[in-house]
Amino acid sequence: MLERLEQGLDAVTRPVVFIAMAALIGVISLQIVSRVAFTAVGWTEEVARFLLVWITFLAATLAYRSGRHIAVTFVVDALPGVSGKGARLCAHLCVLVFLVALAIIGWNYMQLQSFQKSASLRLSMTWVYAVMPLTAVLMAWTTLVAILNEIAGRTTAHHGGDA
């Protein structure tokens, strides 16, 4: 059931990243054309920056969930049996603690900056900063699933990147 929920999260995240990437290409194309042919459209730079931030964080969750995030695993992989399992659990727990801290700090920072508006669009910066706690929670969920799978003896290479 946990894997199905992760697959559902993937099914939502992938199209969002794809649409955001297409929007980023469109906005940057508009920016280039407007600068060359007309007067520059002021909001395009801001939208492109915000889209890039969201794409980066959301794509990081996809990479993490599929085990493609950067990881140094040679020590854990070299350990036999129970030692390897313990090392993987320890690594996953460290990652989980970091991600929970990131979610809390990101939430607090998002709240702290809620009064701030973007320069061109006058968009609340809460929406821009919301990606940090959101993706930290998504990656923490993936890590929790990896921990439960490790404990149950169902280790899979795609969960949590074997931090």
pLDDT tens, residue by residue, 25-68: 999 999 999 999 988 888 999 999 999 999 999 999 999 998 88
pLDDT at residue 1 tops 90? no
Residue with tokens 């007067």: 39
What pLDDT, on the 0 to 100 scale, is given for residue 156? 58
**Residues across the chain:** 163
| Confidence at 20, pLDDT banded by 50, 70, 90 | very high
For residue 161, pLDDT beyond 60: no
User: Domain range holding 77?
Assistant: 2-162
CA distances to 12, 14, 23, 42 from 117, rounded to whole Å, are 28, 28, 22, 15
Q: Does the pLDDT at position 140 exceed 80?
A: yes
DSSP class of 16 = H
Cβ pair 16, 145 in contact under 8 A: no
**Inter-CA distances, 162 with 27, 45, 154, Å:** 37, 37, 13
Return d(Cα 128, Cα 108) in angstroms, integer: 14
User: pLDDT tens digit string along 66-121?
Assistant: 888 777 777 788 888 888 889 999 999 999 999 999 999 999 999 999 899 999 99
Among 140, 74, 60, which Cα is nearest to 107's? 140
Task: With a cut of 60, say whether residue 159 has pLDDT above it.
Answer: no
User: Number of structural domains, the chain?
Assistant: 1
